[in-house]
Structure formats: structure tokens, C-alpha cells
Chain A
Amino acid sequence: EMVLTQSPATLSVSPGERVTLSCRASQSVSTNLAWYQHKPGQAPRLLIYGESTRATGIPARFSGSGSGTEFTLTISSLQSEDCAIYYCHQYNNWPSLTFGPGTKVELK
């Protein structure tokens, strides 16, 4: 079974800081990986797909990189509204799609 591991579990940062989130797959997912932002009480929002393509309306401060088994989501300058849980999601291993456990980003 494909397993996604995210690190760190929680990240405490100050506004304006650069944030780097990691997602590792137990086997290659090629570039079939997406990132979602999830705030309490809201629907998850697609940020990045195809490893590095920003979804419609996503600010340029969000970027994705990586391929194979190692992926990174970067927020270039954290805004207060970016506090949320971030999930990576592989859609390579059809029909066994999986999500990572999430990284919580909070203000320091």
C-alpha cells in the first residue's frame, strides 16, 4: 500500500517567514501529487497539482516542487490566513488514492 509521510507534524512560524513542508511517498508517484489547504469548518482547497502547477486563484507565494518520492510545498512569506493543515495527496496509484497525515501550520 502506498503510504505518504509528511513532516513536520506541526510548524510554528512568524508572519513573513518562509515555510517549507515535506511529503515523502513510499514508492514513486511520478508527478501525480497534489497539495491541499484545510481550515477548520471549511472544505479543503486545492493549492498545487501535477507536483508544481498552482490551481486557479492560488497566490504566487505558494509553490510546489519534487517528483518521484520527495515533494515540497513552499510558502514564500507566510500570511496569517495561511494557518491551516496542509495535506499532500497522491493520485498516481489508481484506484488506491491516499492522503498524507497532514502538517499543521500555526503562528508562533
Chain B
Amino acid sequence: QVQLVQSGAEMKKPGASVKVSCKASGYTFIGDGISWVRQAPGQGLEWMGWISPYNGNTNYVQKFQGRVTMTTDTSTNTAYMELRGLRSDDTAVYYCARGARPIDFWGQGTLVTVSS
């Protein structure tokens, strides 16, 4: 069965970077893109962007351009999302998810807390 297993919770100071991992199993990793979606406390879901493990192509939401980098390692079927220049309003649960049109399976989420 499809599984996306994410790395554990992170606590970061403002200005730092965080890198969240997402290990995929149960399907052909290069056959589907990986989306990253976040949910701030008390807020809704926000799509951040997408990466194709097949060719590394990415699409980032404009508000994250310049701060986010999505990568994949096809040797380990793992996707990564790095967010730099963290601010307090980046505190959120970050989800990786398979696909984009539509997203069909989600990871369990990784809580990233940004606090001084």
C-alpha cells in the first residue's frame, strides 16, 4: 500500500532553515509527483509546490519562491522540502503528498515550530 513517512517534529529559531524528508513506498516513486502542503495552527491547507521525481522539475507557489527548495533522491525514494529564512508565521504542520492533480495520498505531517 502507498505510504509516505515523514521526518519528526522540528523546533527552529527565526532565520534558520528546516529540511523535512518524506520517504515513499508502495508505488513507483518516479511515476508521480510530490506536493508539499502546509497547515498553520487554526488555518486551512496551503499548497506550497510540487516536484517531479522523474526529472526534478519543480513548481513553487510565488510566495515561497526564493525560500523553498524541493528535491528528491530516487535511490532512496525520498523527497525533501527545505524552507529557509524561517519566521514565526512559518510555524505549521508540513505535509508531503503524492500527486497534484489531484493529490491522492498524504504523509502523516511534520510539525515545524519557529520560536526564539
A59 at the interface (CB under 8 A from B): no
Given contacts A32-B101, A95-B50, contact A43 B108 (CB under 8 A): yes
In this assembly, does B89 line the interface, its C-beta being within 8 Å of a C-beta of chain A?
no
CB distance from A91 to the nearest CB of B (A): 4
Of the candidates A32, A34, A43, A50, the one whose C-beta lies within 8 Å of that of B107 is A43
Main secondary structure on A side of the interface with B: loop
Q: Are B47 and A43 interface neighbours, CB within 8 A?
A: no
B109-A98 in contact (CB<8A)? no
Neighbouring A residues of B105 by C-beta, 8 Å: 46
Q: A32 vs B37: C-alpha distance in the bound complex, in angstroms?
A: 18
Instruction: For the complex, give the distance between the alpha carbons of A43 and B22 in Å.
Output: 13
**Is there contact, CB below 8 Å, between B104 and A99?**
no
User: Could you count the A-B residue pairs with CB atoms below 8 Å apart for me: how many are there?
Assistant: 57
CA distance A46 to B97 in the complex (A): 11
Contact B44 A99 (CB under 8 A): yes
- B95 in contact with A44 (CB, 8 Å): yes
Which range contains the number of B residues in contact with the other chain?
Answer: 20 to 34
Is A71 an interface position by the 8 A CB rule? no
Q: Please tell me the number of chain A residues within 8 Å of chain B, measured between CB atoms.
A: 24
Question: A residues 64-108 with Cβ under 8 Å of B?
Answer: 87, 89, 91, 94-102
B residues 86-116 in Cβ contact with A at 8 Å:
95, 97, 100-109
Instruction: Give chain A nearest CB distance to B55 CB in angstroms.
Output: 15
B61 A100 Cβ-Cβ under 8 A: no
What residue in chain B is nearest A48 (Cβ atoms)?
B102
Pick the contact of A91: B49, B61, B100, B106 (CB < 8 A): B100
Write the nearest CB–CB distance from A58 to chain B, whole angstroms: 11
Q: Interface residues, chain B, CB within 8 Å of chain A?
A: 35, 37, 44-47, 49-50, 59, 61, 95, 97, 100-109
